[in-house]
Amino acid sequence: MESQTLPYIALGMTIVFAVGIAMAILVLNRLLGPKRHSVAKDGPFECGSDPIDSPRKRLNVRFYAVAIFFVVFDIETVFLFPWAVNYRELLASPTFGAIALAEIFVFLGILAVGLWYVWGKGALDWAFDAPAPRRDHG
């Protein structure tokens, strides 16, 4: 008979092993790696090019807004995958199959309304030169 703690012991050993390998690589790199310092190597590195601006420069809020919108609408995929995997099992029951389908349509409808609202406000426009057109109702 297996112990109930055996899976936790295996998981703990795996974590200790992974952390140990990472630490060993870092220590060996520090001890055995070449140490040739230069101005170019010790300078800041930014995507293969020299930094041309201050890192403390203010960015347009649209960059942050688009990033947040991406995260919000990308998380919908995380919620869709488990539903899609279990939908075939839910179809076996005539009641739960229809309820699950209705729930996912409500979920997608809410997301579509949110996307429509954000798009309508011009938050996804990348033209920074011109202000977003005002939509006055009246």
CA 25/CA 31 separation, integer angstroms? 10
DSSP bridge partners of 46: 49
- Residue 105's pLDDT is what? 92
Spell out the long-range contacts of 67-74 with Cβ–Cβ below 8 A and sequence spacing 24 or more: 69/118, 69/123, 69/124, 72/114, 73/111, 73/114, 73/115
Q: Report d(CA 66, CA 126) in Å as an integer.
A: 10
Q: What pLDDT does residue 109 have?
A: 93
- pLDDT given at position 138: 52
Give the list of residues 6+ apart from residue 75 with CB closer than 8 angstroms, or none: none
Going by C-alpha positions, the residue among 98, 100, 119 that lies closest to residue 108 is: 100
pTM: 0.49
- Predicted confidence at residue 23, as pLDDT, reads 98
Domain boundaries, the chain: 1-33, 61-120
> Would you write out the chain's pLDDT as a tens digit for each of its 138 residues?
468 888 899 999 999 999 999 999 999 999 998 888 888 777 777 666 666 777 677 777 777 888 888 888 888 888 888 888 888 888 888 788 888 889 989 999 998 998 898 888 887 777 655 555 566 665
Phi and psi dihedrals of 126, rounded to 5?
A: -100, 0
